[in-house]
Amino acid sequence: MSDQSLTSGSPAAAYPGLTVALSVECPAWAAAGLGDIERLAQETFAAAAARLGLPETLTSEIALTLADDETVRGVNAEWRDKDRPTNILSFPMADLGPGEPPGPLMGDLILAHETVAREAREEDKAFADHFRHLLVHGFLHLMGFDHAEDAEADVMEAHEVAILQGFGIADPYLEHSGA
């Protein structure tokens, strides 16, 4: 995983108006060895924005909630009628087409620690790399991308792979079916 600082050459420096409202609701996230989670998220989202060709003048906020499986299970049941935890849920503030610029509030992402940790172990991936992959995946959903159809999935996965390569993270889809 890259440990870039917020210097003029970092992705986050290119998108100073793309901000993260971080809420850590599960203490296990603080012990996960991710370092400065807000900075990691800002860098990841900025790299994704650059990949999509969004203007560097973009001003938008992403609410990022780091929760546990039980919390995510409840949200998943309430909003998606699926009574189980999942790794990440994405709630865009607007129904965007892929590549359309977001408004001042891009949307909400919520991740389940136990599920993310279990997947990383099962897939023999570094926790931080899997976490970053899920941030990219969620960002793309907020930006209108989907993977319900094969053609959509191919486009979304190509973006994910390219963004992650910029952080030195291997293609997460080589051996596994995806996030």
The mean pLDDT value for 148-162 works out to 94
**Pairing relation of β-strands 105-112 and 60-67?**
parallel
Ranking 3-7, 32-36, 148-152 by mean pLDDT, the lowest is: 3-7
Q: What is the pTM of this model?
A: 0.91
Do 40 and 136 form a contact (C-beta atoms < 8 A)? no
H or E element, residue 153: helix 150-165
pLDDT of residue 97: 86
3-class DSSP state of 49 = helix
Is 8 or 16 the better-scoring residue by pLDDT?
Answer: 16
Is pLDDT of 83 > 90? Answer: yes
pLDDT of residue 62: 98
> Which percentage of the chain shows pLDDT scores above 70?
91
Q: Which amino acid is at 166?
A: G
Angle at 145 between CA 5 and CA 156, to 5 degrees: 70
What domains are there in the chain, each with its CATH number? 11-165 (3.40.390.30)
Half-sphere exposure (CA, 13 Å, Cβ side) for 80? 14
Percent helix, strand and coil across the chain, each to the nearest 5: 40, 15, 40
Long-range contacts from 71-76, C-beta under 8 angstroms, 24+ separation: 71/25, 71/26, 71/110, 71/112, 72/110, 72/111, 72/112, 72/115, 73/112, 75/110
Ranking 10-24, 69-83, 98-112, 122-136 by mean pLDDT, the lowest is: 10-24
Is pLDDT of 155 > 70? Answer: yes
Query: Quick one: how many helices (H) and strands (E) in the chain?
Result: 6, 4
Neighbours of 72 (CB within 10 A): 25
pLDDT of residue 5: 37
Report d(CA 131, CA 87) in Å as an integer. Answer: 9
Report d(CA 65, CA 41) in Å as an integer. Answer: 11
- 21-64 pLDDT, tens digit per residue, is 999 999 999 999 999 999 999 999 999 999 999 999 999 999 99
